[in-house]
Amino acid sequence: EGIKDIHDEL
Amino acid sequence: MNIFRIIGDLSHLLAIIILLRKIWKTRSCAGISGKSQILFALVYTTRYLDLVTTYVSLYNTVMKIIFIAVSIATCYLIYMKFKATYDHNHDTFRIEFLLAPAVILALLINHDFTFLEILWTFSIYLESVAILPQLFMVSKTGEAESITSHYLFALGSYRALYILNWIYRYHNEEIYDLIAIVAGIVQTALYCDFFYLYITKVLRGKKLQLPA
């Protein structure tokens, strides 16, 4: 699955 | 965005506001580990450098600015304004034993060997252990004021809620970030002992006394 490409969490 | 992450972020925001307010109102940082606060300021400044490169949302940007500002303000109150009330004798945890492994691990295990990504990874690893000086100080003094334990409960809950957020995102969005998840589990595990004491004692109106 997709590992997140940008860090959209705090 | 999901309910777990919103409540987690608000719990996190509540924690740092409780702490800043406590120090400001009582004009004292007794019982507070300045070393943990330095580590948190380092965590937010290294993690949120992407403020200048990536725009995620207004919420994301505003919260990052607040976390950086409040953590730096808290360090200022501890080490400058109310320095006379800082408890050097009990805030003795050697933070170099936390910084060095975080740096080394960030260089070895990361998603991408770029400057910003290494800093983000360092920040994630450091955050998972940043509370140790504070927990160490509470164990050394043998007790914590109830406001400090509310701070710790809110701070510990934030990352516990993030674990629920990661489970939610894995099931619903099929995305995950193992570095954040593993570090978040370690971070939450460090609070378990405190959570037990908080629920069995503080919520019953007793003072948080650690078995010396």
Give the pLDDT confidence of B120-138 residue by residue, as tens digits: 999 999 999 999 999 999 9
Confidence of residue A1 (pLDDT cuts 50, 70, 90): very low
> With an 8 Å Cβ cutoff, are B175 and A3 in contact?
yes
Model pLDDT for residues B146-160, shown as the tens digit of each residue:
999 999 999 999 999
Take residue B58 and report the two structure tokens written for it: 């207004």
CA dihedral B142→B144→B149→B151, nearest 10 degrees, is -120
Q: Rounded CA gap, B97 and B109, in Å?
A: 18
Considering only CB atoms, which chain B residues are within 8 Å of A9?
A: 5, 162, 165, 180
